[in-house]
A and B are shown apart, each in its own frame.
Chain A
Amino acid sequence: MSRPRHPSAPPPATRVDAIVLGASAGGVEALSRLLPTLPRDFRPALLIVIHIPRGHPSLLVNVFTPHCALPVHEAGDKQPIEPGTVYFAPPDYHLLVDRDAHGPTLALSQDAPVHFSRPAIDVLFESAADVYGARLGGVLLTGANTDGALGLQAVHRAGGVTLVQKPDTARVATMPAAALAAGPVDFVLPLEQMPAVFRAWGDGGAI
Chain B
Amino acid sequence: MRPRMLDVASKDFDIELRLLLEALYLKYHYDFRGYAASSLKRRLAQAADHFDCATLSQLQDRVLHEPALFPALLDYLTVQVSELFRDPSYYRALREHVVPVLRTYPSLKVWIAGCSTGEEAWSLAILLREEGLLERTLIYATDINPSALQRAEAGVYAVERIAAFTQNHRLSGARTSLSDYYTAAYGGAVFDRSLKGHIVFSDHSLATDSVFAEVQLLSCRNVLIYFNRELQERALGLFAESLCHKGFLGLGARESLRFSSHEATFTPVVPEDRLYQKR
Residues on A lying within 8 angstroms of B by beta carbon are: 1, 76-79, 90, 93-94, 96-100, 107-112, 123, 126-127, 129-131, 133, 146, 149-150, 153-154, 157-158, 178, 182
Contact = CB atoms under 8 A, between A and B. Distances in A.
Contacts of B8: 126-127, 130, 154
B7 interface: yes
Interface of B: 1, 3-4, 7-10, 36-39, 41-43, 79-81, 222, 224-226, 228-229, 232, 254-256, 258-259
A109 B42 CA distance: 11
A9 to B, nearest CB: 22
A133 to B, nearest CB: 7
Which A-B residue pairs are the 7 nearest by beta carbons?
A96-B38, A109-B39, A130-B9, A127-B38, A98-B38, A158-B9, A77-B225
Nearest to A123: B42
A78 B232 contact: yes
A182 B254 contact: no
Contacts of A131: 38
Interface of A is mostly: mixed
Nearest to B255: A77
B56 to A, nearest CB: 14
B42 A112 contact: no
A154 to B, nearest CB: 6
A96 to B, nearest CB: 4
Given A111-B42, A111-B43, A98 B79 contact: no
A107 B9 contact: no
Contact of A90 (B36, B81, B254, B256): B254
Contacts of A78: 229, 232, 259
Given A77-B254, A149-B1, A126 B229 contact: no
